[in-house]
A and B are shown apart, each in its own frame.
Chain A
Amino acid sequence: MASLIHCPHCGVRPKEEFSIRGDASLVRPDPEASDEAWNDYVHIRSNPRGRYREHWQHAAGCRRWLVVERDTFTHEVFSVADAASAAREAGR
């Protein structure tokens, strides 16, 4: 895991200021979606080696949810973006 995260709102911060929720690529299905879609959304997670997009919250800072794209193996962080902006861009 990274030691420092560059919050787009607050700047460089130690990882202790963040809490991690997990996979950011999941999209909440429509309430009418299939059982399988909901099962995948709620229960099924991959554990990739390499590039991974996660939801992190800057809990001790701006309280914003962020999308952190990082490498689970090298710990390199590729990008950090505001999750609401990312969600809007994704058309949600």
Chain B
Amino acid sequence: MTRTYISRHPLEDLLPLEPGIRAVDHLDIPRAMAIAAVMAMDGEEAAVAAGLAASGDVQVRFTGPGEWLILSQSETPEELHRNLSLLLAETAYIVDQSDGRIVFRLSGPNVRRILAKGIASDLHPAVFEIGTSSNVLCGHISVNLARTGENEFELIVMRSFAVALFNDLRVMGREFDLSADFSAQG
């Protein structure tokens, strides 16, 4: 008997926060995203970094020296894995994390004031520039933080912490009536 298995998002029962309401400060959560951890082989760090920088379709997040998280909206996890394997053959190890990581996109005029309630890093526009990414502590939870736009940040968290981080962000954003929902595009 062939079965079809439906994937479930850990915030399935919690979103939208308030149906139909989208505030200026908003938390947008993609339902599915292809994510892979890339670890450069010894001595190949620069080659891998260059290879990743040249591949236009994916987003590259710095997690540690020689280590990145790669995000793709258009590929399936298998496609991303395959394409990265081709791109980085013999230079990096690739681990699928599409189910192991949950992505939160926070945007709005008060985004820095919201994040300052959990993150110690200076997020001033001149200091934390667009395109910067790094692992940081948000409250008690380690996340990968990236600045993706003028007033847009992305947080990637381990799946088991997704509900806890969501609850934290909700409290952090309460002052600004932060709204939250799954991404429209899927």
- B119 to chain A: closest residue by CB: A14
Interface, chain A (partner B; CB < 8 A): 9-14, 16-17, 59-64, 82
| Interface 9-residue window, one of B16-24, B93-101, B107-115, B135-143 | B135-143
Closest Cβ of chain A to B48, distance in Å, is: 16
Are B65 and A13 touching (Cβ within 8 A)? no
Please tell me which one of the listed residues A11, A16, A60, A62 contacts residue B65 in the complex, with CB atoms under 8 A apart. Answer: A62
Cβ-Cβ contact count across A and B, 8 Å cutoff: 44
- A16 to chain B: closest residue by CB: B137
8 A-B pairs with least C-beta separation: A62-B64, A14-B120, A60-B142, A60-B137, A61-B135, A17-B137, A9-B65, A10-B134
With A62-B64, A63-B64 as given contacts, are A11 and B121 in contact (CB-CB < 8 Å)? Answer: yes
Total count of chain B residues near the partner, CB < 8 A: 12
B63 proximal to A (CB < 8 A) = yes
Are A61 and B65 touching (Cβ within 8 A)? no
A61 surroundings in chain B (CB, below 8 A): 64, 134-137, 142
Are A62 and B63 touching (Cβ within 8 A)? yes
A60 surroundings in chain B (CB, below 8 A): 135-137, 142
B122 surroundings in chain A (CB, below 8 A): 12
Closest Cβ of chain B to A4, distance in Å, is: 8
Closest Cβ of chain B to A11, distance in Å, is: 7
How far apart are the CA atoms of A45 and B135 in the complex, in Å?
32
- B138 to chain A: closest residue by CB: A60
